[in-house]
Structure 1
Amino acid sequence: MAFPGTWMTESESLAYRVVPKCACSTIGQIMFHSDHGRYFDGDIHDSTSGMHKWNQDESQAAIERAVKARKPVSFTCVRNPYARILSSFFDKIAGIQRNGKRYRGNMIPQIAQRYGVEVGSPENNFDFDQITSFRRFLLFARDTIRWRRPMEPDIHWSAMSGHIATFIVNGGRYDQIFFTEKFDEGMQKVLDAADTPVKVDLKSVPRFNESEGHGPKRLHKVSEYFDDLSRHLVWEIYKKDFQLFRYDFHNPDNKMPKGEVDLDEVHAKLGR
């Protein structure tokens, strides 16, 4: 049994399957605070102690035992696929990472050469055609996901259903799946269901958006980035995400889900 991308509090009160670009920094910090009464000093993705993570060898036995015994409240969080892929583009492709460098080093020059993606730079105030470049990036993202060329798909634009499925296939079961767009409501239900050592007041939790301020601001409303071809590509990549998590494919500007997640349906369809 393996639970990649799973974080668990040391108290084993909460287990979370990380889905990139879906408030994972904030969720991780809330989990850390619910055990220790303080936030991790830095990006929670960089922590190596104070919380179990599957990529830390010494955490794997504890996560596997607790998750299979259904001890922690197990949950994840999802986001509108249109907004998520746009966020991935502005953060990971057009933005500068917190280390001051481009994401994945040589990837940006490669997709600039192969797909004609332009991203500007801090020196020219990120002056580039956002809509044209995003649509070209979307073609690249589709190629990585469908054909694994010119590289393996990146976790930040792989489908949410793919991340979420690994937890189910390997023997876990989600107690709750909530929406980034209704974050406080969903996170509160998770905390209410768990017996955490420290109570968390969600209204006092600061924002932990590690990518904000390191790249260009989005200049247009969501629908302007998605022409007919782009929407076809989005459906090809994220069809399951729209269907399982009840998002509105037909109106990119409607970021809100159209209904609640049916956990039984998610487990049935992703557990095969």
Structure 2
Amino acid sequence: MGFPGTWMTESESVVYRVVPKCACSTIGQIMYYSDHGEFFDGDIHDAQSGLHKWALDASQLPITENVKGHKSYAFTCVRNPYTRILSSFFDKICGIQRNGKRYRGNLVPLLIQKYGIEVGGDDGKQEFDQIASFRRFLLFARDTIRWRRPMDPDIHWSAMSGHVSTFIVNGGRYDKIFWTEAFNDGMQDVLDAIDTTHTVNLAEIPRFNESEGHGPKRAHPVEAYFDDLSMHLMREIYKRDFELFKYDFDNPANKQPVGEIDLDEVHAKLGD
């Protein structure tokens, strides 16, 4: 299986396991900049050179050798499950993607037909009942994760622990897992631990939020989207994420972590 979703600087200064919807565009650009002294011109997910990625055939051997030998500092970044799935909904389901089309072609029509969701019209700009539609989307997300119906789960709403675990199961070990909610502190810890070709000043780094502006703005506070049933579904899908990465399941309004991530616990529980 190897190391899907793993990126590494060409200088092999650092290895990163991508977790979708967790600041991955910004992290990728920081890695690119640390090697080249400039940002990639465009969405870093489109870069075919300048950064080792598991999806590029020529990168697989260097990544495998590095990770299995733990030659470089390895890290990943996680996010509150409540805000992460809301972000996925507004970006991937309601939004028009950067190619000018809907995400995954027939996905949105399928959701409209089978689950009765609304997405704000053809351009995603019209008024609609965001709360009702999101809750129906959450039901769909649960169905894909629990029963792989009506399709396999998508990387943007499958559990973070699943992404994080493939790295461990195949022989990798993390030196750091930090929260998007404390991005600068966590990213600075990574930068302090590695030697980079070019110095990165986090205070001057723009946020590369590639999904910003794709879809409608969230009209309500986070907690408004989650009633008892929604929270039950969230527990069913993301129980491990809440527990391992120390997020507050009981209060959707609290996006901050409530404890420290225990790396030994993460490796023990996700390494089987």
Fold equivalence (TM over 0.5): yes
Percent sequence identity over matched residues?
73
Aligned pair count reads: 272
Contact preservation (8 Å) 1:78, 1:177: yes
Deviations 1:127-177 (A, max 9, x none): 110000000000000000000000000000000000000000000000000
Q: How do 1:103-252 and structure 2 match up within 5 A?
A: 103-121=103-121, 125-252=125-252
- Taking a change above 3 Å as real, the CA distance of residues 127 and 46 of structure 1, as seen in their structure-2 partners, is same
Structure 1: which amino acid aligns with 2:27? I
Deviations 1:9-48 (A, max 9, x none): 0000110000000000000000000000000000000000
Segment drifting more, 186-195 vs 205-214: 205-214
1:196 deviation in Å? 1.2
* Aligned twin of 1:64: 64
Instruction: Give the TM-score normalised by structure 1.
Output: 0.98
Contact preservation (8 Å) 2:78, 2:177: yes
Instruction: Give the TM-score normalised by structure 2.
Output: 0.98
Q: How do 1:249-268 and structure 2 match up within 5 A?
A: 249-268=249-268
Deviations 1:19-78 (A, max 9, x none): 000000000000000000000000000000000000101000000111112111100000
Any idea what SS the aligned residue of 1:151 has?
coil
Unpaired segments ≥5 residues, structure 2: none
Unpaired segments ≥5 residues, structure 1: none
Contact preservation (8 Å) 2:13, 2:196: yes
Deviations 1:183-235 (A, max 9, x none): 00000000100111111000000110111112100000011100100000000
Contact preservation (8 Å) 1:26, 1:207: yes
Structure 2: which amino acid aligns with 1:10? E
Output the CA distance in 2 between the equivalents of 1:124 and 1:42. Answer: 23
Segment drifting more, 133-142 vs 192-201: 192-201
* Aligned twin of 2:14: 14
Q: How do 1:22-101 and structure 2 match up within 5 A?
A: 22-101=22-101
Deviations 1:96-125 (A, max 9, x none): 111111100100000110000100136573
Output the CA distance in 2 between the equivalents of 1:246 and 1:97. Answer: 32
Output the CA distance in 2 between the equivalents of 1:255 and 1:234. Answer: 14
Output the CA distance in 1 between the equivalents of 2:88 and 2:71. Answer: 33
